[in-house]
Amino acid sequence: MKNKLNHGDVFYLELPDNKYIFSRILFDVEQQYLMAQNQPDEESYFDVFEDCQLLEVYSGIYDSKDIPKSFNVLIPGVFIYRMDSKHNKLKWGKVDSKRIDYKRIEFPEILAKSNGSVKLLRGELYFDTKYDDADQFEIDWSAEFPEVLANETAFLQNQNHLISGEHYSESFKRMDLRNFPELRNKVYSDLNLDPEKSYYELSKEMGFDLARFY
């Protein structure tokens, strides 16, 4: 498809049996970060997700492409390979565009080995931990394909008959430390960080104002 999706755009993904789910682009790693920065910080994880967009997915599976009057978030901020790339096997289309409140954006949180140490990575932020082995946490440094996202959306809503193709619910969950609140609280406690502080608040305290990308 020649069309492109930008941050704020709401779009549908087509599932089997002419069913549809809706999602919105919250952040475009390449367009908003890598191309906008004179010297992107190599310590952040954004270069790993260069081909990805941060999405939120809405609850509900619909019979038409007509946009619903209201949405509830089913899957918050997750990195997915671009809808408009060769990685996407599903039909999609833009249906609306809504202003993004950047103060409410949250990025996936990852525990991974980077530049010789195990770090907590969260958007532009990175924190050295005292852990020796990132593998013990089983938090994957990865993104997923639109097909997997669509299947997880159907799975979470008990619509397994709409799952087609690749589906890895457990590994999907392990893409984000936020899905493991007990472990997350321990990590934040060890780092003397407030786990309730929003990404915007924490990043601004550390000199990274998300507003500059919007």
User: Please, what is the average pLDDT of the chain?
Assistant: 92
Q: How far is CA 45 from the centre of its chain?
A: 12
In the predicted model, is pLDDT for residue 166 greater than 90? Answer: no
What is the three-class DSSP state of 168?
A: coil
User: Exposure pattern of 128-167 as b/e (b: 16+ CB <10 Å)?
Assistant: eeebeebeebebbbebbbbbbbbbbbbeeeebeebbeeeb
In the predicted model, is pLDDT for residue 77 greater than 90? Answer: yes
Give 104-113 pLDDT, tens digit per residue.
999 999 999 8
| Domain locations in the chain as residue ranges | 9-213
Return the pLDDT at 103: 96
Question: Which tokens belong to 13?
Answer: 């993904």
Query: Which of residues 23 and 115 earns the better pLDDT score?
Result: 23
Give 5-62 pLDDT, tens digit per residue.
999 999 999 999 999 999 999 999 999 988 877 666 777 899 899 999 999 999 999 9
In the predicted model, is pLDDT for residue 75 greater than 80? Answer: yes
For 158-185, what is the mean pLDDT?
A: 93
Cβ neighbours, 10 Å, residue 68: 13
In the predicted model, is pLDDT for residue 2 greater than 70? Answer: no
What is the three-class DSSP state of 144?
A: strand
In the predicted model, is pLDDT for residue 165 greater than 70? Answer: yes
Return the pLDDT at 28: 95
Burial class for 1, CB neighbours closer than 10 Å (0-12, 13-18, 19+): exposed
In the predicted model, is pLDDT for residue 1 greater than 50? Answer: no
